[in-house]
């Protein structure tokens, strides 16, 4: 008899506690904070979560708010926590756009996993620093879907992630028509053959030095190639005949990035 009485009292206590929690204003969301966002606005997050202010925390959490946030194309990770008495904390990690891809007179904004973050009719100031990846054959896609991860797309991602940031800022196009021969085009219209892009980690600083040298010499013809792990400049025929010019270019890429080339530039290149 005593055992049943204790069980009855236990269930009664649980029922009263549940009734108090459900009816208490302390468990209704009255405020919420957002951390970790970069480009997403509070309005976009509220729209993704649905109406939460004033709702009971149990109903909010049963609605799986973190999973709802992950449905947004620009959200990579999400965590939602309740802080007594009535505060909801939202923590978001956004996806980082790395490239633009031409797509039926539009541009896809994608991250390193190939997730389509946005579809643009034109390149805006917000995305003008992103390189344009060409040479990909894409099926019909919409925002939130993922580009098929082909060797060509992986080659583009590899180049973007391993290229020196200063070189990347000068890169306007990455042609991956061939995954074995990735071609970059700089803002000065200099073409750069980086092969498969596997050796960029240790060599992109030398590439930056060579680009700066060619810009100073106003040499925008010819092509930069990677040979035996180093970048070399292949001048067009009429420039190649100028032996002195080739010697100057060779001195430039052989120099360390931190060396001052002003003395070399001032000296007679034929000496």
Please check whether residues 198 and 266 belong to one and the same domain: yes
Does residue 254 lie in a domain region?
A: yes
Let me know if residue 15 belongs to a domain: no
Within-domain flag for 218:
yes
Together in a domain, 36 and 117:
no
Total structural domains within the chain: 3
Residues 268 and 172 in one domain: yes
- The CA distance from 271 to 269, in Å, is 6
Answer with the one of 79, 94, 109 that is the final residue of a domain. 94
Q: Is 66 among the domain residues?
A: yes
User: Given this model, what pLDDT does residue 259 score?
Assistant: 47
The pLDDT value recorded for residue 197 is 83
DSSP 3-state percent helix, strand, coil across the chain (nearest 5): 35, 25, 40
**Residue 33, domain CATH:** 3.10.20.310
Residue 120 within any structural domain of the chain: yes
Cα–Cα–Cα angle for 149, 41, 58, nearest 5°? Answer: 90
- Decide: 34 and 90 in contact? Cβ < 8 Å: yes
pLDDT on residue 124: 83
Q: What is the pLDDT of residue 219?
A: 60
Residue pair 159/184 in contact (Cβ under 8 Å)? The answer is yes
Q: ∠ CA 63-66-70 to the nearest 5 degrees?
A: 115
Domain closes at, from 117, 149, 181 = 149
Task: Write down the pLDDT at residue 91.
Answer: 94
Residue 45 inside a domain? The answer is yes
Whose structure tokens read 């100073």? 216
Clarify whether residues 78 and 118 are in a common domain: no
User: How would you classify the pairing of strands 191-193 and 87-94?
Assistant: unpaired
pLDDT value for 262: 46
Peptide bond into 85 cis (omega under 30): yes
Q: Which domain holds residue 265?
A: 168-271
Chain centroid to CA 28: how far? 37
Average pLDDT of each block of 10 consecutive residues along the chain (271 residues)?
A: 60 52 62 87 88 75 87 94 81 95 95 95 88 94 92 94 89 94 90 85 77 74 76 67 51 51 47 43
The answer to the question of residue 62 being in a domain is: yes
- Does 106 reside within a domain? yes
Is 99 in contact with 110 (CB distance < 8 Å)? yes
Say if residue 118 is in the same domain as residue 197.
no
Q: What pLDDT does 146 receive?
A: 94
pTM: 0.73
């Amino acid at each position: 008899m005593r055992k049943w009485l204790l069980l009855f009292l236990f269930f009664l206590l649980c029922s009263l506690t549940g009734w108090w929690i459900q009816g208490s204003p302390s468990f209704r969301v009255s405020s919420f904070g957002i951390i970790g966002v970069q480009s997403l606005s509070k309005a976009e997050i509220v729209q993704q979560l649905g109406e939460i202010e004033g709702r009971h925390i149990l109903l909010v959490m049963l609605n799986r708010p973190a999973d709802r946030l992950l449905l947004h194309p620009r959200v990579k990770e999400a965590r939602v926590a309740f802080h007594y008495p009535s505060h909801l904390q939202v923590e978001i990690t956004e996806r980082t756009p790395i490239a633009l891809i031409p797509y039926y007179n539009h541009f896809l904004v994608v991250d390193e996993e190939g997730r389509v973050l946005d579809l643009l009719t034109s390149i805006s100031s917000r995305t003008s620093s992103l390189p344009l990846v060409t040479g990909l054959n894409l099926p019909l896609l919409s925002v939130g879907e993922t580009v098929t991860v082909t060797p060509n797309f992986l080659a583009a991602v590899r180049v973007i992630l391993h290229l020196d940031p200063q070189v990347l800022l000068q890169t306007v196009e990455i042609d991956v028509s061939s995954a074995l021969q990735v071609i970059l085009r700089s803002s000065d219209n200099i073409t750069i053959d980086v092969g498969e892009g596997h050796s960029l980690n240790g060599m992109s600083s030398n590439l930056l030095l060579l680009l700066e040298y060619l810009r100073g010499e106003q040499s925008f013809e010819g092509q930069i190639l990677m040979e035996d792990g180093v970048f070399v400049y292949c001048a067009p025929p009429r420039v190649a005949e100028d032996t002195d010019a080739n010697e100057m270019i060779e001195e430039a890429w052989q120099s360390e990035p931190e060396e001052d080339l002003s003395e070399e530039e001032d000296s007679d290149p034929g000496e």
